[in-house]
Amino acid sequence: MSSIVITGAGSGIGRACARRFLGAGWEVALLGRRVDALEETAEGHPAALILPCDVTQADQVDAAFAAAAGAWGRIDALFNNAGVFHPTAMIDEVSVEDWTAVIATNLTGMVLAARAAFRQMRSQAPQGGRIINNGSISAHAPRYGSSPYTTTKHAITGLTKSLALDGRAFDIACGQIDIGNALTELAAGFTRGVAQGDGQLRVEPVMDVGHVADQVLHMASLPLDVNMPFVTIMATKMPFLGRG
């Protein structure tokens, strides 16, 4: 049985992916801040391992990965998914506190999880595994008033490329999925209006989050001699190529 750690598993894309992997017969470690949300995701599934964890805290991340590896003997994959948004604002209106919070989760948190996964995959026998980073359409083109979030997602692209290179010697593959307008609780606002490049609010098309879960499962199921460094999945008619 293959095993995966999923961060941000208490809601949204993380929840959809966790349930898809459990349904496909994987052992799944669910990481997130809220035990009740993780338990709701798991739905009592015997292959779900609930590990409360704040990804911004290195000691908690290391402990969670050690617990998963201890339970299963190895970790085959990480879906590095946990992330936060911030209110739309011009950069001079973004508080230092909001900037720090976004950086802590979207960048430092993802680095800490990748670090723990890389360490385990490098040391286990047989060696290797796969890290899948949750990027964003914002890793390519920003939304209006999104400088902190967009900055972190461009940084994740650099992390993906670095891990894909550094992991070669250890059979660790790394790829990134850039997601656009998957309908989750956090993305429900897209159906009511989102600020466009000119600052005007417009409703945007969305897609079922299940398509994202299918793609992440596909990426994680590939043999380690195959990698998908970058994949974009999005609602067909959302503004992406036409942003600005």
Catalytic residues: 149
| Cα–Cα distance, 14 to 55 (Å, whole number) | 14
Q: Report the first-to-last Cα separation within the chain, whole angstroms.
A: 46
Q: Are 153 and 106 in contact (CB under 8 A)?
A: yes
- Identify the H or E element spanning 120: helix 110-123
Partners of 6 in the beta sheet? 30, 79
φ and ψ of 242, to 5 deg = -100, 15
Here the tokens at position 164 are: 């894909």
Here the tokens at position 153 are: 């997602």
Eight-state DSSP code of residue 144: T
Here the tokens at position 158 are: 């650099």
